[in-house]
Each structure stands twice: as structure tokens, then as C-alpha cells.
Amino acid sequence: MAEQDVSFKVEDLFSVKGKVVVVTGGGSGLGKAIAEGFAINGAKVYISGRRKEVLDVAAKQIGGDIHMRGDVQTKEGCQKIVGAIKEREDHIDTLINCAGVSSPWRVKATAHNDPDQVENLLINGLIEEDFDRSNQINVSGVYFLTVNFIPLLRKAADPNVCVIASVAGISNQRTMGSLSYGVSKAATVHLAKLLAGRLHPMKIRVNTICPGIFPSEMTGVASGKHEYKITHPAEKAALRSTAGRPGRPEEIVGPVLLLSSAGGGYMNCALLTVDGGRLMGVSINDGIRMPEDTYTSVWSLLKQIK
């Protein structure tokens, strides 16, 4: 028999008060917004990132009194982050794997149906280093940080891990981002599923969020606390979503808080697309346009019926 554990009041249902939370990539973009979402709701938040000066600014802006520097690009870097937190905490409740990187194409293609341009793009647009860097941070970093946090997670009442992936990992995009980014995020999505399965005996929940176009350092240039001037390609891609705009900070913070609260306590191995309908837009608008005589329409069908 399952009995009600908390009231249906919003402040109880989605409370994260008193939780110990670690957010990677917490110095900017989505990670920074997520860190603030936890901090202002009473959680004790640790943020990590490679750039100390960025973390310092973020900590001041979100009002957090704890920040640290850490590089999830290597196993050793992940272990240092875990070691530093072990010195201060006997457990953590939530780990948010938000750190990510994208390696842009080194050459451009202006016409994605031009065989010569596409050939040049694919042969000369990426090098091994681009795949290595994307995989080290987006995939290996998620794995090594999560598994090294297992001892601290196991001591929590409701331990949970949230992996921030991307719709690029589950869609076939041509003009947004590079191929190495999409490949690494596809691996991230599957990694989260495998981790959920492996951590099942320990009752550690693992869920994945795939954001669409959100203002961040990947899609634009910072112009304020959570404001970014997004690039032209990202702006156009956002227009093709149902929402017709980029996501707002609260629209990524909300789902993350849900997964970390009593309201999301029954969610495990879930994949949420938080993209304003962008994934749907990719499938209906961004496909390869074929010759007109290969398409059917309502009018052509009516003519056949007559």
C-alpha cells in the first residue's frame, strides 16, 4: 500500500529545502539557472566549472556562498570534485550533470543539399580532437562523476541524478550544431539509461532532460545574469518550435526541481524533452525537401476520388 507522504501544497510537493545539490557547469547558461533555482529554494548548492572567475561571478549573482572549481574532462578531475565535497558533506541528494561542450564545424556549408559543399564539410569540418573533447566532457565526464558520487548518493533519503543532454542527441539535425555534438549527446542519453539500470539496486534514480534552444554560451553571448544574445542560426531554429522562441530560464529550472522533489520521486529512467516543440519541428520542418511530384496533398487525393 502506498500512502501519501507529503501534502499537495506546492511548497511541499516540489520542495528541495535542505537538500545537498551538486551542479556541474554551474557557472553559466542552464547550469547557472539550475543552481540558482535550488539555492533560492533552500538547497545547499555546490557548483563546478573549469573557470574560477566565471564561478566567482555566478556565486555572487545567485547568492550562493559555496562554489568550487572542477574539470569533468578527466577521471582524475571528477575524483577531485568528489573528494572536495566529501570533505564537507556526508551525503548528497542530487547530482545535476549539466557541463557540456560543442565543437563547431571547422569549415562551413551554406547549401546543405550541395554535394561538393557537404563533401568538404564532412571531410574537413571535424578532426579527432573534436570528437575526443565532446566525448570526454559530454559522456565520460557524466559517467566518472556519477559513479564516484555513488557512496555519497547512497546515504541520501531520495538520491537522484539528472543528466542534461540535448534534443540534438535524439533528432537528425543538419544545420544546428556539429555532428560530433549530436553523436556525444546521443551517447549521453543512452548512458543515462544504462546508469539508471545499474544504480537500480541502490535506489538511485537517474533521469534525463533534453533541452531545445535555450540561451547559453553554446547559442549566444552573455549579456546579463541569465540573458544571452543568441546567434542567428539558434534564433531561426527556435522560431521553428511550437513556442516560436527560445526557452526561458524558469522553463529548465522547473523540470529539474520536479525530478529532485517529492513530486518527481516516482520518476526513474525518464527522458523529458524541454524544447518548446523543437523536436517535433525537426521532424516536420527540417527534413530533406524532395521533388514536389513526390508529395501528396489533400487536393490531389480529392481529385483522385472524383
Q: Which residues are tagged catalytic? A: 166, 181, 185
226 DSSP assignment: S
- 100, 127 in Cβ contact below 8 A? no
Distances (CA, A) of 22 to 46, 258, 279, 295: 5, 16, 28, 50
Of 200, 181, 77, 196, the closest CA to residue 139 belongs to 181
Distances (CA, A) of 138 to 36, 58, 164, 272: 22, 22, 9, 18
Q: Rounded CA gap, 56 and 61, in Å? A: 9
Q: Which residues pair with 271 in a beta bridge?
A: 208
Q: Where are the alpha helices (DSSP H) in the chain?
A: 10-13, 29-39, 52-62, 75-86, 115-124, 128-135, 141-148, 150-153, 179-198, 232-239, 249-259, 278-285, 298-305
Q: Rounded CA gap, 135 and 130, in Å? A: 9
